[in-house]
Amino acid sequence: MELKHKNLNLPITIVSIAIPALVAVLFYLPRPNLHLGFDVHILPLFHAVLNGSTAVLLLASLYFIKNGQVRAHKTTNLVAISLSVVFLLSYVTYHALAPETRYGDLNHDGVLDATEKAAAGAMRFVYYFILVTHITLAGIIVPLVLFTTLRAFQDNFAGHRKLARITWPIWFYVAVTGVVVYVLLSPYY
């Protein structure tokens, strides 16, 4: 049976639950002491590049569809999805191997003392607000992207457009705030 007639709601739901569950579990597992032949601390920069590229692709996708360039719209969205998959795989790898980085942790000991908290000041709250909204919406965006894409492949363009009006701004926000989180956290890697 071709994709157009398949009901993929259950697989999309399973993937949409499994991804955030896996990411959450990673934060509680002990980090193995593996040597991959490169410094995993370069991965956050790579993630920021992937997020920034996704944001640019999403802007291009919006431009293309507003100007009737359906094929270019489809291509940019598929590339954005591909970059998001690469991001997810790299993100999981990074968080499975690297210790947690804390905003304001100047001496990199994993603990924020009173001096470090004072030095970070109110920016800590700005950072955490952006981080919490980014993480929350990143979990929500997975099923939205999958269902929006499925509707397009099933030629349900009315449903695709309706869902894309919700999906696009959330995905764009997640991509942009991914870069912002990296920029704010980068002094502490």
For tokens 């968080």, name the residue.
Answer: 95
- Most confident range, picked from 92-96, 112-116, 159-163: 159-163
Query: Would you say 87 and 51 are in contact if contact means Cβ atoms under 8 Å apart?
Result: yes
Across residues 125-151, what is the average pLDDT?
Answer: 96
pLDDT at residue 34 greater than cutoff 90: no
The reported pLDDT for the residue numbered 2 is: 62
Which of 19, 44, 12, 29 lies closest to 131 in space, CA to CA?
44
What's the pLDDT score for residue 98?
A: 85
Do residues 148 and 21 touch, judged by C-beta distance below 8 A?
no
Domains of the chain in start order, with CATH, are 39-188 (1.20.120.80)
Tell me which residue of 133, 87, 125, 88 sits closest to 103, measured CA to CA.
125
Is it the case that residue 38 has pLDDT exceeding 50? yes
